[in-house]
Amino acid sequence: MEQAVKERIEKFASALIDQNSAQPIIEPNSNSKGFWYGGGNIIFHNAKYYLCGRYRDDGDSRTGIGAGERGLELAIFSSDYVDGPWEKIKSFSKLDLTHGNENVISIEGSSLLVTDSEIDLFISTEKDRPYPDEVIDFQKKGTGIWDIDLISASSVEELEVDNIRGALRTEELGALHIKDPFAFNLNDNFEGVGLFFCSHPFTWASSNTGLAIKSA
């Protein structure tokens, strides 16, 4: 690529996302390395803005929670204006999001979606699931497997863990870990939902993007 073209692309990208003028709207639990709030999205519904994301504290995903808490809370904020102020209206802990016989080790990315009849909240978590037998020796002590769950309600304020259910998981070794969903309606007639997600193989040798589709 010619240097002049590269510089024009960089200038355009910097204009779209100007780090120097960016301001945090939700502060992390600590202004330190490894701490943040994010990994979600913003929707507009019933004349309000809603923001979902996770509080992430320091830690290392290669050691489960051995090096820190990592994703410890899923929080939803609301505001009358997109630039705030924002008020926390929902909070879900790892224990809250645990269902079945699999404990949640870490909360990962999430996504809110307005459909024709309800609000969907897609949540990715790391659960204490063992690797398939044929690759169990690759699993590090204290780690689990990522997958995506779903909570639905008629409004954001009514989202509760009582109806949490599995949305997407796989035993396919090349995409064993599934996380960080981004949900969208397939068209204006709400004839299905698309779900982009990040995936990793059991070896963690790559990071990939996938798409799942649910027909209406």
Q: Which helix (H) or strand (E) holds 5?
A: helix 3-16
Q: Which helix (H) or strand (E) holds 165?
A: strand 165-168
The domain locations on the chain are: 28-214
Beginning with the edge strand found earlier in the chain, give each strand of the sheet holding 177-185 in spatial order: 177-185, 193-200, 208-214
Output the average pLDDT for the chain. Answer: 91
The whole-number pLDDT of residue 60 equals 58
Per the model's pLDDT, the better-predicted residue between 145 and 60 turns out to be: 145
Tell me the average pLDDT across 59-88: 78
Q: Which region among 8-12, 49-53, 80-84, 187-191 has the lowest average model confidence (pLDDT)?
A: 187-191
In the three-class reduction of DSSP (H, G, I as helix; E, B as strand; rest coil), residue 154 is classed as coil
Tell me the average pLDDT across 92-113: 95
CA angle 106–109–111, rounded 5-degree value: 135
Strand pairing report for 42-45 and 193-200: unpaired
CATH hierarchy code of domain 28-214 = 2.115.10.20
| pLDDT of 198 over the 70 cut | yes
pTM of the model as a whole: 0.88
Question: DSSP secondary structure string, 48-93?
Answer: EEEEEEEEE-S--GGGTTTT---EEEEEEEEESSTT---EEEEEEE
CA angle 120–38–211, rounded 5-degree value: 50
Rg (CA), the chain: 19
Per-residue confidence band for 67, with pLDDT thresholds at 50, 70 and 90: very low
| pLDDT of 70 over the 90 cut | no
Per-residue CA distances from 213 to 53, 122, 187 (Å): 23, 14, 12
